[in-house]
Amino acid sequence: MLEAAETDARVRTSADLFEELNTEILSLGQRFGISGLCRVKLNRAAHLPVTKEGTDYKFSKLPDGDKLRLKVAVVIALLRIGHRRGAGRHPGLLFVDSPGAEEVAAGSLREMISGLVEVAAELGLQVVTATARLDDVQSVLDPKRFRIPAKGRTTLW
């Protein structure tokens, strides 16, 4: 059974953690091109209400492109903060399927891919992503880091 002081300490630590997470998610969401994003508030129930240009939104009511950007931002934020705090045991492999499928603008997609490249280098992760938007990926990644289908083929394997 937890003592009251220990419970208070855990709640305070949790509040600090969520503040740090929300700051990181907000920064990444803005970097990834979420228009007018000015606040995010991930909570213990895994709800992520956001404020854009002074209007509050539930995550489920956001456009698909914003949802995708926020999902990637949350994953990166969790990995970074978990690493900083020495918490968790992530296996070191991250899959992101079709990050450009939700009509993400080219600049925003490049920023998302750049963010994934940074976190991979920072934390020693392997990131595998699949996209049909080769031009956007090629502008960010080292050519040795991606595979494209052979000439005349539409699939990699």
Q: Quick one: which of 55, 69, 56, 57 has its CA closest to 25?
A: 69
| pLDDT tens-digit map of 57-109 | 999 999 888 998 899 899 989 988 988 888 877 888 888 888 777 666 777 88
**Span between the terminal Cα atoms of the chain, in Å:** 55
Question: Residue 1: pLDDT band by 50, 70, 90 thresholds?
Answer: low
pTM score of the predicted model: 0.80
pLDDT at 85: 87
For the 4-145 domain, the top CATH level (class) is alpha beta
Backbone conformation region of residue 40, classed left if phi is above 0, alpha if psi is from -120 to 50, else beta: beta
Diameter of the chain by CA atoms?
67
Span 42-71, average pLDDT: 93
pLDDT at 39: 97
